[in-house]
Chains A and B, each alone.
Chain A
Amino acid sequence: MSYSTIDTSKKISFFDIRELLRYKDLFYTLAYREYRVRYAQTFLGFFWAFLQPLATLVIFSFVFGKAIKVDTGAIPYPIFALTGMVAWTYFSFVVSQAGRSLINSQNMIQKIYFPRLVLPLAQAFVGLVDFSITFLLLIVAMVWYGITPSPHIWYLPFFLLMAIIAALSVGIWISALTIRYRDFMHVIPFMIQIGLYATPVAYSTHYIPEKYQLLYYCINPMVGVVEGFRWSIIGQGAIHPYTFISLGIVIILFITSLIYFKKVEKVMADII
């Protein structure tokens, strides 16, 4: 028989991992709901999931590939851009969806208890669907151009994990902040738009002067992730030592996001 205590005299509380695991089925159903509802009653249905990255790719290829002629070495520009896009689309999707996840489920939060963290977590899971689609596009493009994956490809899961944690930590931070300050809801689209240009998705890091590189990697941990994706998939560039700084920042962001989320969780139903 389970046994639970709520005691206000105990100040320190940690995340109950066991409880999260008990709610793993809720996590799957919520993820399924998001995924199912997204293209409900659309004519093109799932095809939209392909269309969006494809359109972005075409625009990038024209603007950065043909007009500005970004130097991508021996790699055709579309492949170069796609390797960055796989990481970035995942990140932007999860940040915007996880960031809004609590506000969008206000009613549920006020009517029933479940570990609130399930909401942003489910979004990180749904994001993998979009990730797979862009990744499929990348594979098709690589076959088309006859590009073979680099020998570092085995490092890809590591960078994917880093992307997931980076996206989650920003998403959790924003979701918890929007509970109190709705201002952050308006920050999301803004941040994603600027972020796209502040991350080496469409261009390469060697356009950034050396003296700004540290700042670049520190402010935007996605720089390390995108560079890591590119290095492990097509072997371009190298792992910059600053990548470890990006990793450190991601970990700090993640831990602080969990602490802040836990703090807000107690009053969530009252102030949402």
Chain B
Amino acid sequence: MSDIAIKVENLSKKYIIGSGTSGSLRETLSNTWHNTFGGKRSDEEVFWALQDLNFEIKQGEAVGIIGHNGAGKSTLLKLLSKITYPTTGKITMNGRVSSLLEVGTGFHPELTGRENIYLNGTILGMTRREVKSKFDEIVDFSGVEKFLDTPVKRYSSGMYVRLAFAVAAHLEPEILIIDEVLAVGDAEFQKKCLGKMGEVAKGGRTVLFVSHNMNAIKSLCNKGLLLKNGGLDYSGNIEKSITKYLNSYEIGSPDKELSFPINPELQMQLTSVRLSGAKSQPLEVIDVFGEAFIEFEYLVRSADSTTVINLDLEYMGSIILRSFDCDVQEHLYQHRPVGTYKGRVKLPSPLKAGNYNVFISIIKLKKDYIDKPKRLSFIVEELSFNSDSKSYAKWRDGIIPGILEWSQSQI
């Protein structure tokens, strides 16, 4: 037992979803009535976020917890950090635990930076004395010393996050649990955070780390826990875990295909839109450097000119790119004959990690939509993990981290 930091046995967590759990007094009374005097409740649905999980983590291990959305990663972190209580099972932890599910928990906008350091530090489980002894280091790390006595509501969001993270980075527990909190701040600060986390992991402490950023996971962790549908899919070597995780993506369900009912009133109409890979396989998650296409089909019921297929790429709420089919195929702009069409357009690569929307529409130039925009969402993740510098698309400034055609030679 001595070298084991965390031991989890038969851990399960059940959530009750559906109506009947909103918790108003009236509902409880009516449910009690129904339970007592017959009449079954049918609106109660049970969801097992975690089921029968077993694993052990040794002291000093840095463990990356990976899995698709809904696999149970967040639930596991909440259970380990004691935020919520398991339905069944046992967790044994050997050492002081700190968890970091969010930076700046408990920060109060009216208080000054100095006061918030103490507040946040004690919320994270430090004593005032510990905060005091690390105070200078924290301030130094955050780089906001000039504004220490300013209420944090006057801080820029960057300063706020830097201060919040600085406090968290100076926790010194034996077991540290971190959710995806590194995705904050600017690129430079993210690097600094990642470096600090690496120090913690190498300093012999046990670290549990959840992230979708495979680069970060790979550089920090030496062991992986792959979760799938609330159970343990794989545990062991980090590289194998990541490979297994990435492979599970290739079977990706093609439910991202959009198809639209026939509407004879439209002169031209999109009938289907989907995201696909180089071999036309359906995708919903693509790699930063992945090759991906938008495939579409449409009908032309009456021939016309000056019609355009329009593609907008949206990232973080703004259109970062607009492209027309006739940029390349000008003849279709002059005249688009009646018929059924099928086409595809290659998305730019690389793209920054994140959530994207593609809007495809058919427009009549200088007039209006012929067919209104259809939205297709997809995710870009840093799945490829070659560590050469160009893969750090996430750390680059700019919205499209495009690789331009450079050429240079010695003269």
Contacts and interface: CB of A to CB of B under 8 A. Distances in A.
Contact of B24 (A7, A40, A105, A182): A182
B87 interface: yes
A4 B111 contact: no
Contacts of A181: 23-25, 28
A111 B84 contact: no
A33 interface: yes
B23 A271 contact: yes
B95 interface: yes
Given A4-B97, A25-B127, A181-B25, A112 B81 contact: yes
Contact of A269 (B83, B88, B102): B83
A56 interface: no
A270 B84 contact: yes
Interface in A146-189: 180-183
A6 B23 contact: no
B108 A33 contact: yes
B158 interface: no
B168 to A, nearest CB: 11
A37 B152 CA distance: 13
A26 B15 contact: no
Contacts of A211: none
B127 A33 contact: no
Contacts of A110: 83
Contact of B83 (A26, A40, A112): A112
B179 to A, nearest CB: 9
A5 B110 contact: no
A36 interface: yes
B128 A28 contact: yes
B81 A113 contact: yes
A112 B101 contact: yes
A2 B96 CA distance: 6
B93 interface: yes
Interface residues of A, number: 40
A108 B106 contact: yes
A268 B127 CA distance: 25
Contacts of A113: 81-83, 99
A36 B25 contact: no
Nearest to B103: A111
Nearest to B84: A269
Contacts of A30: 119
A266 interface: yes
A181 B110 CA distance: 30
A40 B115 CA distance: 14
Nearest to B90: A7
A26 to B, nearest CB: 4
Interface string A72-112: 00000000000000000000000000000000010111111
B123 A114 contact: yes
A2 B173 CA distance: 11
A2 B98 CA distance: 12
Contacts of B99: 112-113
Contacts of B86: 6, 8
A112 B123 contact: yes
B94 A3 contact: yes
A267 interface: yes
B94 A36 contact: no
A1 interface: yes
Contacts of A36: 110-111, 115
A29 interface: yes
B350 interface: no
B85 to A, nearest CB: 4
A113 B174 CA distance: 16
A193 interface: no
A23 B130 CA distance: 13
Given A108-B106, A113-B82, A183-B25, A29 B174 contact: no
B92 interface: yes
A77 to B, nearest CB: 39
B105 A112 contact: yes
B78 interface: yes
A266 B151 CA distance: 34
A79 to B, nearest CB: 37
Please indicate which of the listed interface residues A3, A5, A41, A111 has the most CB atoms of chain B within 10 Å of its own CB.
A111
Contacts of A23: 122, 125
Contacts of B28: 180-181
Contact of A3 (B88, B93, B102, B106): B93
Contacts of B123: 26, 29, 108, 112, 114
Contacts of B93: 3-5
A6 B78 CA distance: 13
A108 B105 contact: yes
B89 interface: yes
A25 B132 CA distance: 12
B23 A180 contact: yes
Given A112-B105, A114-B125, A182-B24, A41 B85 contact: no
Interface of A: 1-9, 23, 25-26, 28-30, 32-33, 36-37, 40-41, 105, 107-114, 180-183, 266-271
The 8 closest A-B pairs by CB, nearest first: A266-B85, A113-B82, A40-B110, A26-B122, A6-B91, A269-B84, A7-B90, A29-B122
12 contacts: A1-B95, A6-B86, A8-B88, A8-B89, A26-B123, A32-B119, A37-B110, A41-B110, A111-B83, A113-B82, A181-B23, A182-B24
